[in-house]
Amino acid sequence: MTFEASSPSDVALVHPLTAPANVTIQLPGSKSLTNRALLCAALAEGRSQLSGVLFADDTRAMLHAVSGVGAQLEIDESANTVAVTGTDPRVTTPTAHVDADQSGTTSRFILPALGLSPGRSVVDGSAQLRGRPFGPLIDALRSVGVRVDELGEPGYLPVSVTGPTRGGSVELPG
């Protein structure tokens, strides 16, 4: 279909297509999917090639976080790709200072990942992120043996995390 209107107040005429459309659409990457893929690749053995990566503030925070757990990154922003060589934090014992900036996804995903390691790491963020509650996640990590020390107000960032987790089941409110 095609639309014709000479100004916003005009009536738009819709003309049906006479043949199937032949178009290619390149959708932008997803912040949510990019952050999940980066963390999965960082914790996986070997090398993962991610394409369609969205480069934004939140995903840059996750790139910083996964490099903090020991993943090796080869970033090509012009091609929207990241090659990630993963690492096992249970073996490499990373000690990281993760600045999640304003990224709630990064901070909430990296805390349990850091709980896999016997090393002590700190997760912090912007003043805006420090105002978001983390109590249920902190309680869940503690329930599986991760040491979490609040370095400011209880239930909020910054926190230090020291594992390893003993594992088990946890429930978190959705």
Q: Does the pLDDT at position 94 exceed 80?
A: no
Distance CA(78)–CA(106), nearest Å, equals 23
Distance CA(169)–CA(69), nearest Å, equals 23
Over residues 9-66, the pLDDT tens digits come to 677 788 888 898 888 887 888 999 999 999 999 999 999 999 999 999 999 999 999 9
Helices marked H in the chain: 31-43, 57-68, 89-92, 104-114, 127-130, 135-143
pLDDT at 83: 98
**Mean pLDDT along residues 155-167:** 95
The percent of residues in the chain predicted with pLDDT above 70, rounded, is: 94
Six token digits for residue 13: 């005429």
Distance CA(168)–CA(143), nearest Å, equals 8
Over residues 60-87, the pLDDT tens digits come to 999 999 998 889 999 999 999 999 999 9
pTM: 0.82
- DSSP of 29-52, one letter per residue? P-HHHHHHHHHHHHHSSSEEEEES
